[in-house]
Amino acid sequence: MNKRLNALYKLLVGDPTARFELLMLLGRVLVPRYRFKWPDLDWMDNGDFNDYLGHFGEGTGLNTDRRWMLGQLLRLTCEVPGDTAECGVYRGASSYAICRFNASLKSAPRNHFAFDSFQGLSAPLAEDGHHWSGGDLRVPLARLWPFQAVEAS
Ligand SMILES: C[S@@+](CC[C@H](N)C(=O)[O-])C[C@H]1O[C@@H](n2cnc3c(N)ncnc32)[C@H](O)[C@@H]1O
């Protein structure tokens, strides 16, 4: 038995594909509806992208797909004139990505507008369920990456 375990251990340590396959096997048992992605695709080893996630404390978070998708969608806007805006910015991660992309364009400069209450979510109504409470996701403007603040009247 020990020999078999030893062989399995060596296989897993020395072979990333085997490790990933074991992970998928576990996934099938624990959360059958969860679908894995090919580990060698897109963002997993993209240093720049992972540094960006890390900057916002999302290196191991659940937003990776959304953040990557935003980057891909931004690429489609290269030729679109005008400014950009985000409604509900939280810690500013998406707005940061949008600003960084805007700055990389050779076309006319874009302004980016970040709208938020900076007071988090409003108190939920009955139809909103019980997952969130009023004030959740609150990030004061002062903690955001330096947007120029303009108070709504
Ligand atoms: C889920 S977070 C946004 C996440 C963000 N888009 C991202 O990509 O990381 C929701 C944000 O919406 C803001 N918010 C919620 N209700 C609002 C309202 N009625 N008016 C303005 N901002 C609101 C919260 O303060 C919070 O920052």
Pair 21, 81 in one domain: no
Pair 64, 119 in one domain: yes
Pair 65, 119 in one domain: yes
Name the residue at shortest CA distance from atom 25 of ligand 1.
120
Whole-number Å distance, alpha carbon 144 to ligand 1 midpoint, is 13
Pair 24, 5 in one domain: yes
d(CA 111, CA 34): 39
Query: What pLDDT is recorded for position 110?
Result: 94
Query: What pLDDT is recorded for position 72?
Result: 95
Q: Is residue 94 part of a domain?
A: yes
Query: What pLDDT is recorded for position 150?
Result: 64
Query: What pLDDT is recorded for position 151?
Result: 64
Query: What pLDDT is recorded for position 152?
Result: 65
Pair 66, 32 in one domain: no
Stretches where the chain sits below pLDDT 50 are: none
Pair 14, 71 in one domain: no
Q: Is residue 148 part of a domain?
A: no
The answer to whether the CB of 124 is under 6 A from ligand 1 is no
Q: Is residue 135 part of a domain?
A: yes
Q: At what angle do helices 93-104 and 47-55 cross, to 10 degrees?
A: 140
Domain of 19 in residue numbering reads as 1-36
Q: Is residue 127 part of a domain?
A: yes
The answer to whether the CB of 89 is under 6 A from ligand 1 is yes
Query: What pLDDT is recorded for position 76?
Result: 97
> 99 near 83, Cβ under 8 Å?
no
The answer to whether the CB of 93 is under 6 A from ligand 1 is yes
Query: What pLDDT is recorded for position 141?
Result: 86
Query: What pLDDT is recorded for position 99?
Result: 94
Query: What pLDDT is recorded for position 120?
Result: 95
For the chain, what is the domain count?
Answer: 2
Pair 79, 103 in one domain: yes
